[in-house]
Amino acid sequence: MKKLALLFALVLVLRGGEFQNKIKKVREFLKNNNLSSMLISTQRNFAWLTAGGISTVVIASERGTVSLLVTPEDFFLIAPNDEEKRFLDEELKGFPVRPLIYPWYLGVERDEVLQLAKKYGGERIGSDLPIPGTIFVENQFKKLRYVLLPEEIKRYRLVAGEAAEAAEKVARELEPGMTEEEIRAKVAYELYKRGLVPTVLLIGVDRGIFLYRHVIPKGRRLKKYAQINICARKYGMVVALTRLVHFGPLSPDLSRRQRVAEKVYAAFLYGLKPGVPLSRVFKDAISVYGKYGFPDEWKNHHQGGGIGYAEREFIVTANSKEKVHLNQAFAFNPTLPGAKVEDTVLVTENGIEVLTYTGNWPYKSVTYRGKKFLVPEILIK
């Protein structure tokens, strides 16, 4: 018990150091954007600022059950009375937070969060949700999340490994005759068992994989080909990956399409160098489709982009304004009918780190412009 108490205390200390780093960034953001305070209400920004805290009750809701208010001098928790104890006991224990608590029924009758934010946050309140009476600044604020701190990278490696382990375990155990819903349930179980929450859980088999880029379970039974496509969240951090399983040898056509997807994917990874405009990365990568006879295929599905505290922090296009940062995460997902490649990667000083690589799935080395990249293959059973 003493060891567990010491471990918990150590976690709080580590979270506290990360929090101090981040709240300093938030206060710089206030100054640079002429704001008197920042109202944080989304689940993802709560998790980011509190180093992995959870404000979730309704999983599918973008808004958490409480809000945080940051001013140049103070840090407040704005919460209904029925949430106060848990947040102070668990999510914010040890944090220098001042609670502003209101009766839950006032939150139903009017926006009590806004009233308290105005009282303690001044006249120019920035917000990560479009709340009347505040200034919506999420598009600028989320950029604070792009570059991951060392502590975040450690957590992200853990989350990515667990998510990939869950998906790959189910993929290896697939058998013909399973329904898409059965496969989805197995993946969800493996994720939840590891403390991950699925935020995207697309399962498709056979013909559906060729017809649709996002395959929703519809009761189809697996015959020869299955796709598991997930986004999963833990500590607020989201991982994306796709795993494909085929029973028997691939047809020449499917094999060719998968090789093209792999080449496009390698081209995306090749372009991920700090300081490089993502518009350039995108244009170079999608040109690969044309080199292999599929010039317009990129138009049929987005190609992915930045990832971290959202399934995609942004989608990369030819008009993207962002540049690549060191210690920034990406998830690209080039597709053709029946073919797809997707992993979560990190831009490091030593090149690209595949966060969702476990060593227990078939990968191949794909060369693009003389540089080799690890790319997940279709598992043949």
Residue-wise pLDDT tens digits, 35-62:
999 999 999 999 999 999 999 888 888 9
Residue 213 lies in a domain: no
Residue 44 lies in a domain: yes
**Domain end marker among 144, 171, 195:** 144
Residue 45 lies in a domain: yes
Q: Tell me, what's the pLDDT at 11?
A: 47
The C-alpha angle with vertex 274 and arms to 268 and 280, in degrees rounded to 5, equals 45
Q: Are residues 336 and 373 in the same domain?
A: yes
Q: Are residues 239 and 357 in the same domain?
A: yes
Q: What is the spatial distance between Cα 217 and Cα 339, in angstroms, rounded to a whole number?
A: 18
Q: Tell me, what's the pLDDT at 13?
A: 54
Q: Are residues 94 and 156 in the same domain?
A: no
Q: What is the spatial distance between Cα 277 and Cα 168, in angstroms, rounded to a whole number?
A: 33
* Parent domain of 286: 150-160+231-380
Q: Are residues 247 and 347 in the same domain?
A: yes
> 292: domain CATH number?
3.90.230.10
Q: Tell me, what's the pLDDT at 155?
A: 96
**Residues of the chain scoring pLDDT < 70:** 1-14
Q: Are residues 154 and 301 in the same domain?
A: yes
Residue 250 lies in a domain: yes
Q: Tell me, what's the pLDDT at 111?
A: 84
Q: Are residues 154 and 82 in the same domain?
A: no
The C-alpha angle with vertex 306 and arms to 301 and 308, in degrees rounded to 5, equals 125
**Domain end marker among 109, 144, 179:** 144
Number of structural domains in the chain: 2
Q: Are residues 74 and 156 in the same domain?
A: no
Q: Are residues 255 and 274 in the same domain?
A: yes
Residue 208 lies in a domain: no
Q: Are residues 133 and 154 in the same domain?
A: no
141-174 tens-digit pLDDT? 999 999 999 999 999 999 999 999 999 999 999 9
346 forms beta bridges with: 329, 353
326-367 tens-digit pLDDT? 999 999 999 999 999 999 999 999 999 999 999 999 999 999
| Three-state secondary structure of the chain | CHHHHHHHHHHHHHHHHHHHHHHHHHHHHHHHCCCCEEEEEEHHHHHHHCCCCCCCCCCCCCEEEEEEEECCCCEEEEEECCCHHHHHHHHCCCCCCEEEEECHHHHHHCCHHHHHHHHHHCCCEEECCCCCCCEECHHHHHHHHCCCCHHHHHHHHHHHHHHHHHHHHHHHHCCCCCEHHHHHHHHHHHHHHCCCEEEEEEEEECHHHHHCCCCCCCCCECCCEEEEEEEEEECCEEEEEEEEEECCCCCHHHHHHHHHHHHHHHHHHHHCCCCCEHHHHHHHHHHHHHHCCCCCHHHHCCCEEEECCCCCCEECCCCCCCECCCCCEEEECCEECCEECCCCEEEECCEEEECCCCCCCCEEEEEECCEEEEEECCEEC
Q: Are residues 276 and 375 in the same domain?
A: yes
Q: Are residues 79 and 135 in the same domain?
A: yes
**Domain end marker among 83, 117, 144:** 144
Residue 343 lies in a domain: yes
Residue 191 lies in a domain: no
Residue 109 sits at φ, ψ, to 5 deg, of -80, -30
Residue 211 lies in a domain: no
Q: Tell me, what's the pLDDT at 4?
A: 39
Q: Tell me, what's the pLDDT at 26?
A: 98
Q: Are residues 354 and 309 in the same domain?
A: yes
> 83: domain CATH number?
3.40.350.10
